[in-house]
Amino acid sequence: MYNRWIRYCCRTGEINEAMSLVAEIDSLGSHPDPLSYVSLIETLASLGRTLEADALFQEVVRFRINGSYSVRLYNALLSGYLRKGQLELAVRVLDHMKEENVDKNQETCEILLNYYVSAGRLEESWRVVNEMKKRMFRLNSFVYGKIIRIYRDNGMWKKALGIVEEIKEIGLPMDVEIYNSIIDTFGKYGELDEALDVLEKMQSSSDSKPNISTWNSLIRWHCHHGALDMALELFTMMQDQGLYPDPRMFVNLITRLGENGNWNMIDKHFESIKCKEHKDTRAIYAALVQIIGQFGSFQDVEELVGKLKSQGVAPSANLFCTFANAYAQQGLYKQTVKVLKMMENEGIEPNLIMLNVLINAFGTAGKHMEALSIYHHIKESGFTPDVVTYSTLMKAFTRAKKYEKVPEIFREMEASGCTADRKARQLLQNAFMSQTCKFYLEERTHGQ
């Protein structure tokens, strides 16, 4: 009965109740069964509560009660660590698998590939792909989508599109995952018309209809390249198909509109969301509009989270990161720190995304030394900085006109194994140019 109830609580999101039941079993001198441990560790890891997940995993190891779920246990913990950016702890899990002669499966490799690609680690990404080939694992659309992204992030977008021909040759169906990777590649390099052509192909397809990631990517890149009218048109098209934008994308859209003084457009399109029957989403968007600041008015984040709770929206790591990012984009570092503390008070451990957002908040506010201190905190806390960490820190020093520090950060990034993306290389180039101009002006002034 205890085991069934624990698994039920995990399925319904009542993880604290599940942990209370574990404590009761322990007090009776027993332990959950292997499947219950799997459910607990997977749920805790997905919520970012990796310390508790690891403690339960150590129980499994100590009492040898992993049953037939050993790979699933390892994958759950591995995924949780990598989601938080704790690469060293993830490597420890892999070492333990090797010691116990537990072979990686397809899911293990996909978890690693997803992290390495997202973190801009080119060599490790290819190592995982080669290992999958060696183990005769199927290179599915997920894997090919990641390979396209590797090429895209390293400036080889034409080679990324060449992968599509390889996919056709082996007879792998062009599914949503691959289409989305192609759209993202076109979008990043400003080929917006081509991205829209791919959207048309997806809409005419019977089995590869656009999903939320498709629309988010299209809207994000149109905002990035200043095509706000088309971004809003896509926003409307997405809602007409019964889909609702990711909160982070919504932050990007309304921020861009706000920068151009188009607050009336924010009101108009937010009203269109409120007319839809999607209660949880409406509550989140209402809070985000208030955070970004209709006509410059910022509300207290505690009040906003309270409103969300009253609407039945449980705070999550993703939600807190979204709120923090909205403040960070405005340079409101005190509010960003407040969101971080609230996240911790809710029992959610800060992840690498949140710490990167904090670097951005300090950098936007012109506090480059505080941004640097967060970077050191990331390394000291067992997190592994990714390409976003380094790029954001480089941007902070660029804004502070401390150009000489940028090449140093760039070298640290390369030494860590992260592959510089286009943004990082552009920041380095700008720093060299600015530093050269600075020396030139100083010499001319001294000469006069």
Q: How far is CA 432 from the centre of its chain?
A: 30
C-alpha closest to that of 291 among 279, 278, 307: 307
Higher-scoring residue by pLDDT: 421, 442:
421
The rounded distance, in Å, linking the Cα atoms of 433 and 421 is 19
pTM across the whole model = 0.68
Residue 196 in any domain: the answer is no
Average pLDDT over residues 415-425: 80
Least confident piece of the model among 120-134, 223-237, 263-277, 328-342:
263-277
Residue 443 pLDDT greater than 60, yes or no: no
Q: What letter represents residue 47's amino acid?
A: L
User: For residue 296, is it within any domain?
Assistant: yes
Query: pLDDT-derived band of residue 375, with 50, 70 and 90 as boundaries?
Result: very high
Residue 374, pLDDT above cutoff 90: yes
Output the pLDDT for position 297.
46
CATH number for the domain that contains residue 13: 1.25.40.10
Model confidence at 34: pLDDT above 60: yes
- Predicted confidence (pLDDT) at residue 254 exceeds the cutoff of 80: no
Please answer whether residues 18 and 10 qualify as being in contact, where contact means their C-beta atoms are separated by less than 8 angstroms. Answer: yes
Q: Are residues 378 and 305 in the same domain?
A: no
pLDDT of 66 strictly over 70? no
Question: Looking at per-residue confidence, does 280 or 95 come out higher?
Answer: 95
Q: Nearest to residue 157, comparing CAs of 190, 129, 126, 202?
A: 190
The angle formed by the CA atoms of residues 271, 277 and 281, to the nearest 5 degrees, is: 70
Q: Are residues 324 and 401 in the same domain?
A: no
In the predicted structure, residue 299 carries a pLDDT above the cut 70 = no
Looking at the structure, do residues 319 and 382 belong to the same domain, yes or no? no
Distances (CA, A) of 248 to 115, 120, 234, 392: 20, 21, 16, 17
Give a yes or no: residue 129 inside a domain. no
Same domain? For 311 and 392 the reply is no
Question: 96: how many CB neighbours lie within 10 A of its CB?
Answer: 14
Question: Could you give the CA distance from residue 408 to residue 229 in angstroms, rounded to a whole number?
Answer: 40
What pLDDT is stored for residue 373 in this prediction?
94
- For residue 418, being part of any structural domain is answered with yes
> Which residue range(s) make up the domain with 271?
244-350
Q: What is the Cβ-side half-sphere exposure of residue 46, based on CA atoms within 13 angstroms?
A: 11
The percentage of the chain sitting over the pLDDT mark of 70, rounded to a whole number, equals: 82
Which has more confidence, 251 or 350? 350
Residue 300: band (very low, low, confident or very high) from pLDDT cuts 50, 70, 90: low
Reply yes or no on whether the pLDDT at 392 is more than 90: yes
- Asked whether residue 30 falls in the same domain as residue 61, the answer is yes
Residue 14's pLDDT band, with cuts at 50, 70 and 90, is confident
Distance CA 45, CA 79 (A): 7
Instruction: Give the pLDDT of residue 394.
Output: 92
Is 212's pLDDT higher than 80?
A: yes
Q: Which among 103, 119, 138 is the end of a domain?
A: 103
Lowest mean pLDDT among 43-57, 191-205, 294-308: 294-308
- 368 and 346, same structural domain? no
Helix/strand/coil for 367: coil
Overall average pLDDT of the 364-371 stretch: 92
Cα–Cα distance measured from residue 291 to residue 301, given in angstroms and rounded to the nearest whole number: 8
Is 263 in the same domain as 311? yes
pLDDT above 60 (res 284):
no
Asked whether 127 and 158 are in contact (CB, 8 A), the reply is no
Is 298 found in the same domain as 377? Answer: no
- Whether the pLDDT of residue 17 is over 50: the answer is yes
The number of distinct structural domains making up the chain is 3
Predicted pLDDT of residue 7: 92
Question: What value, to the nearest 5°, has the Cα angle with vertex 286 and ends 223 and 301?
Answer: 100
Residue 175 lies in a domain: no
Residue where a domain terminates, one of 79, 103, 127: 103
CB of 9 closer than 8 Å to CB of 21: yes
Q: At what angle do helices 301-310 and 317-329 cross, to 10 degrees?
A: 150
Tell me which residue of 136, 187, 137 sits closest to 160, measured CA to CA. 187
Please tell me whether residues 308 and 382 are part of one structural domain. no
- Single out the residue in 319, 350, 381 at which a domain terminates: 350
Same domain, 384 and 319: no
Q: What per-residue confidence (pLDDT) applies to 3?
A: 92
Query: Higher-confidence residue: 253 or 115?
Result: 115
**Burial (CB count <10 Å: 0-12, 13-18, 19+), residue 12:** exposed
Same domain, 317 and 393: no
CB 382 within 8 A of CB 89: yes
Q: Which residues, including other chains, have CB under 8 Å from residue 378's CB and lie 6 or more apart?
A: 85, 352, 355, 385, 389
Please say whether the beta carbons of 387 and 413 come within 8 A: yes
Q: Cβ distance 222 to 234 under 8 Å? A: yes
- Greater confidence, 100 or 160? 100
Residue 279 domain flag? yes
Provide the token pair at 384.
């592994």
The CA distance from 376 to 373, in Å, is 5
> Is 223 a domain residue?
no
Q: How far is CA 246 from the centre of its chain?
A: 12
Give pLDDT, residue 295: 38
Q: Residues 372, 339: one domain?
A: no
DSSP state of 419: P
- How far CA 54 is from CA of 50, 77, 100, 285, 441, in Å, comes to 6, 7, 17, 34, 56
CA 151 to chain centroid, in Å, comes to 19
Residue for token digits 């590869």?
208
- Is the pLDDT at 352 greater than 70? The verdict is yes
For residue 121, the model assigns a pLDDT of 83
Position 296 pLDDT exceeds 50: no
Tens digit of each residue's pLDDT (9 = 90 or more) over 310-320: 766 667 777 78
CB 22 within 8 A of CB 51: no
Model confidence at 6, pLDDT cuts 50, 70, 90, reads very high
In a domain, residue 179? The reply is no
Higher pLDDT, 72 or 277: 72
Rounded to an integer, what distance in angstroms lies between the CA atom of residue 37 and that of residue 31?
9
Half-sphere exposure of 357 (CA within 13 A, CB side): 28
